[in-house]
């Protein structure tokens, strides 16, 4: 059992190990385990291009992160996990050469937040569909194989259209990044003055962009199915010709042609690599009429009758800290921080103590994962195009907190160097007070009159002066 820092910055006496019963002395005995990784650590596969994230943190790093880099508690949603919390963990565990000012500013833009939100929404259903296809493949093979019927084909069509609609939102946000729209203008690959393409800078930014997106989605999805996430992100952003993860990662899942049609949709086209477009751009180039309203989600209020588009709009518009109010779960977003440790790994001991059960599970931790297809029995019935009229306005971000986090991550190495020489006791307020008392007893003179006079001066500055009767 590994004791983590979850509530304060006091280092526990017993760092890592387990308790056993000593029959000779008739008492509990603690056996420390100094070597090895924590029991909650899930090994991250080796990433390409030299970006290797840390798998776990020691207790000193956890103290530094919680005291210096964690999101402050003066925000309205400090008790729940947000996208900013996941980005903070990723930037803290990233190597120094990958945390540059360009990358930090790029990932703290509003367009990038919307892209990551759409990416997490897509993978929330994509991983469920992959699991469903693997289970169905086992059921339809072997000596007791089940036969497929007409209903199975209908379910395949519904699932494929479900993923297509989520890819459309993702493709719309990705196109803003490619075209340099809004706050992405400064990251556009062509210079405004001489109209030259910044090839070297754009290549480096694109590789870091893919690696960071993979790590963020992997943490948001409870650190599971890393290879599936990495291969799919590379396929969406690079195309099948240049899918580096599929060639480098071991034990990559290979899908059949029928499974690929369900997962990748009808717009997954493979052409010559000189003319090949990424799958996200292919989705934008081949939009079906009944899916055109999906492109307005988050921009204009949907006025149609399709309940699935309404549900998708609600998932996209609602802030990640309030997803439990609509009964939706996007990975760990919106979950209470008390259920997770510093590395945002789920603590099942804390979950068991909450008393969640199947009927009361606001964060979908106990229920089995499922894809909601209740509205798709007669989806053609709901097709009715109506022009959207009302424009949606995004909730303003807490720019002061984002500015603070950007400054911290740009100066991460400097802050770490200044903090590394501190001892563990320097973060413990009790130890600090004890040392101050010991120094005072050793002969350090304390001028009490000066302390009182300084206090009265500060008090006079802050207190409102009473007006005299003559002034009234």
pTM more than 0.85: no
Instruction: Please report the pLDDT score of residue 39 as a whole number.
Output: 37
Q: 291 with 168: CB under 8 angstroms?
A: yes
Q: 260 with 268: CB under 8 angstroms?
A: yes
Is residue 128 pLDDT above 90, yes or no?
Answer: yes
- Percent residues over pLDDT 90 in the chain: 27
Rounded Cα distance between 122 and 215, Å, is: 15
pLDDT digits (tens, 9 = 90+) for 314-371: 999 999 889 988 888 899 999 999 999 989 999 888 888 888 888 888 888 888 777 7
Instruction: Please report the pLDDT score of residue 48 as a whole number.
Output: 45
Is residue 420 pLDDT above 60, yes or no?
Answer: yes
Rounded Cα distance between 224 and 237, Å, is: 21
Q: In this structure, is the dihedral angle defined by the CA atoms of residues 30, 36, 37 and 42, taken in order, positive or negative?
A: negative
Instruction: Please report the pLDDT score of residue 47 as a whole number.
Output: 46
32-46 burial by CB neighbour count: b if 16+ within 10 A, else e?
A: eeeeeebeebeebee
Question: What is the rounded end-to-end Cα distance, in angstroms, of the chain?
Answer: 70
Label residue 9 by pLDDT band (50, 70, 90).
very low
Rounded Cα distance between 408 and 104, Å, is: 10
Instruction: Please report the pLDDT score of residue 130 as a whole number.
Output: 94
**Measuring CA to CA, how many Å separate 206 from each of 106, 278, 299, 335, 415?**
11, 14, 26, 30, 27
pLDDT digits (tens, 9 = 90+) for 16-31: 667 788 877 888 887 7
Beta-bridge partner residues of 28 = 21
Instruction: Please report the pLDDT score of residue 470 as a whole number.
Output: 59
Contacts of 87 by beta carbon, 8 Å cutoff, 6+ apart: 107, 108, 216, 405
Instruction: Please report the pLDDT score of residue 82 as a whole number.
Output: 93
Mean pLDDT over residues 199-226, rounded?
A: 91
Q: 311 with 182: CB under 8 angstroms?
A: no
How many residues are listed for the chain in this entry?
A: 472
333-357 burial by CB neighbour count: b if 16+ within 10 A, else e?
A: bbbebebbbbbbbbeeeebeebebe
pLDDT digits (tens, 9 = 90+) for 213-260: 999 999 999 999 999 999 999 999 988 888 888 888 878 888 999 999
Instruction: Please report the pLDDT score of residue 4 as a whole number.
Output: 46
Please choose, from the candidates 53, 73, 84, the residue with its C-alpha nearest in 3D space to the C-alpha of residue 8. 73
Instruction: Please report the pLDDT score of residue 421 as a whole number.
Output: 56
Cα 42 versus chain centre, distance: 16
Instruction: Please report the pLDDT score of residue 246 as a whole number.
Output: 84
Which position has the higher pLDDT, 13 or 95?
95
Is residue 447 pLDDT above 50, yes or no?
Answer: yes
Instruction: Please report the pLDDT score of residue 361 as a whole number.
Output: 85
Tell how strand 17-22 and strand 27-32 pair up.
Answer: antiparallel
Which residue pairs, CB below 8 angstroms and at least 24 apart, start in 55-61?
A: 56/343, 57/92, 57/93, 57/342, 57/343, 59/5, 59/11, 59/15, 59/424, 60/424, 61/92
Average predicted confidence (pLDDT) for the chain: 81
Is residue 388 pLDDT above 90, yes or no?
Answer: no
Which position has the higher pLDDT, 101 or 371?
101
Label residue 448 by pLDDT band (50, 70, 90).
confident
Label residue 273 by pLDDT band (50, 70, 90).
confident
Is residue 461 pLDDT above 80, yes or no?
Answer: no
Contacts of 168 by beta carbon, 8 Å cutoff, 6+ apart: 283, 284, 287, 291, 294, 295
**Both tokens of residue 283?**
């989705």
Mean pLDDT over residues 263-277, rounded?
A: 85
Mean pLDDT over residues 457-465, rounded?
A: 76
Q: 138 with 351: CB under 8 angstroms?
A: no
Contacts of 379 by beta carbon, 8 Å cutoff, 6+ apart: 158, 161, 306, 308
Is residue 422 pLDDT above 70, yes or no?
Answer: no
HEC profile for the chain? CECCCCCCCCCCCCCEEEEEEECCCCEEEEEECCCCCCCCCCCCCCCCCCCCCCCCCCHHHHHHHHHHHCCCCCCCCCCECCHHHHHHHHHHHCCHHHCCHHHHHHHCCHHHHHHHHHHHHHHHHHHHHHHHHHHHHHHCCCCCCCCCCHHHHHHHHHHHHHHHHHHHHHHHHHHHHHHCCHHHHHHCCECCCCCCECHHHHHHHHHHHHHHHHHHHHHHCCCCCHHHHHHHHHHHHHCHHHCHHHHHCCCCCCCCHHHHHHHHCCCCCCCCCCCCCCHHHHHHHCCCHHHHHHHHCCCECCCCCCHHHHHHHHHHHCCHHHHHHHCCCECCECCEHHHECCCCCECHHHHHHHCCCCCCCCCCCCCCCCCCCCCCCCHHHHCCCCCCCCECCCCCCCHHHHHHHHHHHHCHHHHHHHHHCCCHHHHCHHHHHHHHHHHHHCCCCCCHHHHHHHHHHHHHHHCCCCCCCCCC
Is residue 36 pLDDT above 90, yes or no?
Answer: no
């Amino acid at each position: 059992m590994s004791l983590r820092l979850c509530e304060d910055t006091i280092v526990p006496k017993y760092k890592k190990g387990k308790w056993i019963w000593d029959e000779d002395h008739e008492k509990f005995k603690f056996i420390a385990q100094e070597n090895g990784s924590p029991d909650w650590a899930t090994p991250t596969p080796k990433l390409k291009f030299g970006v290797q994230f840390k798998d776990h943190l020691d207790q000193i790093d956890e103290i530094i992160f919680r005291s210096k880099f964690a999101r402050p508690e003066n925000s309205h949603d400090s008790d729940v996990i947000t996208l900013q919390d996941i980005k903070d963990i990723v930037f803290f565990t990233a190597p120094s050469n990958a945390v540059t000012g360009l990358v930090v500013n790029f990932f703290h833009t509003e367009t990038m937040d919307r892209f990551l939100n759409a990416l997490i929404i897509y993978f929330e259903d994509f991983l469920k569909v992959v699991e469903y296809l693997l289970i169905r493949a086992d059921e339809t093979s072997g000596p007791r194989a089940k036969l497929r019927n007409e209903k199975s084909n209908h379910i395949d069509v519904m699932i494929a259209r479900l993923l297509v609609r989520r890819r459309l939102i993702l493709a719309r946000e990705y196109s803003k990044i490619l075209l340099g729209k809004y706050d992405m203008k400064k990251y556009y690959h062509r210079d405004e003055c001489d109209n030259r393409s910044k090839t070297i800078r754009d290549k480096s930014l694109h590789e870091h962009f893919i690696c960071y997106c993979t790590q963020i989605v992997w943490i948001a999805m409870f650190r599971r199915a890393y290879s599936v996430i990495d291969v799919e992100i590379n396929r969406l952003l690079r195309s099948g010709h240049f899918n580096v993860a599929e060639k480098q990662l071991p034990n990559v899942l290979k899908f059949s042609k029928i499974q690929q049609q369900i997962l990748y949709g009808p717009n997954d086209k493979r052409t010559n690599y000189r003319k090949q477009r990424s799958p996200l751009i292919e989705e934008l180039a081949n939009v079906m009429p009944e899916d055109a309203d999906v492109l307005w989600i988050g921009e204009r209020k949907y006025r149609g009758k399709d309940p699935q588009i309404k549900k998708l709009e609600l998932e996209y518009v609602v802030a990640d800290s309030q997803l439990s109010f609509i009964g939706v779960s996007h990975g760990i977003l919106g979950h209470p921080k008390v259920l997770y440790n510093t590395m945002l790994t789920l603590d099942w001991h804390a979950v068991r103590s909450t008393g969640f059960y199947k009927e009361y599970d606001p964060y979908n931790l106990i229920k089995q994962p499922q894809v909601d297809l209740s509205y798709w029995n007669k989806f053609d019935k709901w097709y009715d195009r109506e022009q959207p009229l009302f424009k949606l306005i995004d909730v303003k971000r807490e720019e002061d907190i984002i500015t603070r986090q950007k400054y911290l991550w740009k100066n991460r190495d400097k802050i770490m160097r200044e903090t590394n020489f501190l001892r563990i006791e320097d973060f413990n307020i009790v130890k600090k007070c004890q040392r101050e008392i010991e120094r005072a007893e050793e002969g350090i003179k304390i001028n009490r009159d000066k302390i009182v006079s300084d206090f009265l001066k500060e008090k006079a500055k802050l207190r409102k002066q009473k007006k005299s009767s003559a002034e009234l």
